[in-house]
Amino acid sequence: MRIQVRRSQKQLIAQNIDMRRLVAILILCASVTAIMASGHGQGSQQSQAQPQAQPSPSPRPAIAQVPPEEAARELNNPRSKWFREAKFGLFIHWGLYAIPAGTWKDKQIPGLGEWIMNRAKIPVKEYELLAKEFNPVKFNADEWAQFAQDAGVKYLTITSKHHDGFAMFRSMVSGYNVENGTPFKRDVIKELAAACAKHGIRFCVYYSQAQDWHEPNGAGNTWDFGPDDKKDFDQYLRDKAVPQVRELLTQYGPIGLIWFDTPRLMNEARASQFTNLVRELQPDTLLNGRLGGKGDYRSTGDNRIPNEVVPGVWEVPATINDTWGFKSYDHNWKSVEDITFKLVDIVSKGGNYLLNVGPTSEGVIPEESVVRLRAVGAWLKPNGQSIYGTSPTAFGAELKGKDWRCTTKPGKYFIHLFQWPNGTFELDGVKSKIKKSYLLVDSKNKLKVNQSGDKVSITLPARAPDKVDSVLVLEY
């Protein structure tokens, strides 16, 4: 990767670019070098350790930048068009871990809810028994898809198999699955895929390709099966992971993307088994960046939002409290204001927001999540044109503060005002002549525009039309 950066730098110098871009590239070179040296790149040992829901205070960047030509390739990939325009997705972590919900044998287990088997070192023989209890009678795929629609997300990514190895779909490969191994006897993935199709939501699946704590040769379970380097990992890939991914790609209609994760023990050859399968069976399905090979887009570290615009196609996977899988005592819900700000902030930097909910063992999405996401959806209804299909900010100075953000479409700046200015909104560095300005929710009322050179001043009404984010449109 370093070599590619150097080459691109030379090319750009040859093209006589200005000093500012050169400085930016040098910083990029330095940060790529730093990431490689510190072993913090995606797929490194570090990212495979027990993950934290909270960002670490280390100065490591939220996302590993790629050379400009690589970012351009991501952006020009026709396969990712829907994803680039979607901007907002719903992540669902749901599995057997919803039953203990963070507590094992009367002890609250620290860490992420879906990691309880690992954190409490629960033997397979004990954890497996949860399947016999799994009976989420309140699960209603249609309600979940309706909820996704109300929240304004364009895609939904659900854990079809997390690290615990339990498949939430009917599988011929392993009886450890929701249809054959539980009293529930229903295929969750099938019902949800159908409901999403009905509600116009792209259906996507998470699949833990490397860690599988249920299998002697899967990565991660050292308490039952000993160290990973003694395992026949290829046997696990051949006999479980690859055939299950084949099932996912053939049993449920179109899959928008597959979200692979924590690529322990993965390498190019192992990753290509999945890549080839996906390209063969569903050439339109996107691959995320945590397979262990090249993906169609990249993820930031969990809950990490970059400070600047990041070129390319990328996504921020994020929790709505501090866990992915349901924990009965995690009440640290992010507010509607915070979620809306994060959505706009991420979109203004060029990314997607993949926000998670963790349903209970009864099949209910916690009411606290529902209320918040519905409120975001209610904001998106009249303001969605300033989010979906937009491009990043045309400015950048605003990213240092939290007062406002900018998203763009050809001929339009959308200014998201999180702080309502007194009287006028002043904007610097405007390169085009502003023709008109109005509030997105009140487009009939034209606002007074004063422009002198690259400075623009818009006269605003006394009150903000929205208490979280009022969108001001500037057309040029």
Can you give the binding site for ligand JFZ, defined by CB under 6 A? 42, 47, 51, 112, 114-115, 261-262, 301-302, 317, 324
Of 330 and 469, nearer to ligand JFZ (C-beta) is 330
From the list 333, 373, 470, the residue with the least C-alpha distance to 150 is: 373
Radius of gyration of the chain (CA): 23
Of 324 and 379, nearer to ligand JFZ (C-beta) is 324
Q: Tell me the helices (H) and strands (E) count for the chain, helix number first.
A: 16, 18
Question: How near is the Cβ of 3 to ligand JFZ at its closest, in Å?
Answer: 24
- Name the token pair of 117: 């088997």
Of 316 and 380, nearer to ligand JFZ (C-beta) is 316
Question: How near is the Cβ of 289 to ligand JFZ at its closest, in Å?
Answer: 9
Mapped onto helix, strand or coil, the DSSP state of residue 276 is helix
Please compute, for residue 62, the number of CA atoms within 13 A of its CA located in the half-sphere on the CB side.
Answer: 21
Question: How near is the Cβ of 93 to ligand JFZ at its closest, in Å?
Answer: 6
Cβ(115)–Cβ(96) under 8 Å?
A: no
From the list 259, 98, 240, the residue with the least C-alpha distance to 171 is: 240
Mapped onto helix, strand or coil, the DSSP state of residue 470 is strand
Of 303 and 393, nearer to ligand JFZ (C-beta) is 303
Of 40 and 374, nearer to ligand JFZ (C-beta) is 40
* CA pair distance 15, 5, nearest whole angstrom: 15
Question: How near is the Cβ of 336 to ligand JFZ at its closest, in Å?
Answer: 22
Cβ count within 10 A of residue 286: 23
Of 325 and 377, nearer to ligand JFZ (C-beta) is 325
Question: How near is the Cβ of 325 to ligand JFZ at its closest, in Å?
Answer: 7
- Name the token pair of 451: 């422009």
Of 114 and 187, nearer to ligand JFZ (C-beta) is 114
Mapped onto helix, strand or coil, the DSSP state of residue 307 is coil
Question: How near is the Cβ of 219 to ligand JFZ at its closest, in Å?
Answer: 11
Mapped onto helix, strand or coil, the DSSP state of residue 205 is strand
Of 214 and 405, nearer to ligand JFZ (C-beta) is 214
Of 213 and 324, nearer to ligand JFZ (C-beta) is 324
Question: How near is the Cβ of 159 to ligand JFZ at its closest, in Å?
Answer: 7
* CA pair distance 410, 395, nearest whole angstrom: 15
Question: How near is the Cβ of 363 to ligand JFZ at its closest, in Å?
Answer: 19
Cβ count within 10 A of residue 264: 20
Of 53 and 148, nearer to ligand JFZ (C-beta) is 53
Distances (CA, A) of 314 to 88, 309, 311, 391: 12, 11, 9, 13
* CA pair distance 56, 3, nearest whole angstrom: 29
Question: How near is the Cβ of 43 to ligand JFZ at its closest, in Å?
Answer: 8
Closest residue to ligand JFZ, judged by C-beta, is: 51
Question: How near is the Cβ of 40 to ligand JFZ at its closest, in Å?
Answer: 9
Please compute, for residue 309, the number of CA atoms within 13 A of its CA located in the half-sphere on the CB side.
Answer: 18
- Name the token pair of 242: 């690859």
From the list 93, 88, 57, the residue with the least C-alpha distance to 330 is: 93
Question: How near is the Cβ of 463 to ligand JFZ at its closest, in Å?
Answer: 40
* CA pair distance 313, 290, nearest whole angstrom: 14
Of 261 and 466, nearer to ligand JFZ (C-beta) is 261
* CA pair distance 125, 103, nearest whole angstrom: 18
Cβ(198)–Cβ(192) under 8 Å?
A: no
Q: Which residues pair with 415 in a beta bridge?
A: 406, 472
Question: How near is the Cβ of 218 to ligand JFZ at its closest, in Å?
Answer: 14
Of 233 and 324, nearer to ligand JFZ (C-beta) is 324
Please compute, for residue 424, the number of CA atoms within 13 A of its CA located in the half-sphere on the CB side.
Answer: 11
Q: Strands across the sheet with 424-427, in order?
A: 424-427, 455-459, 449-452
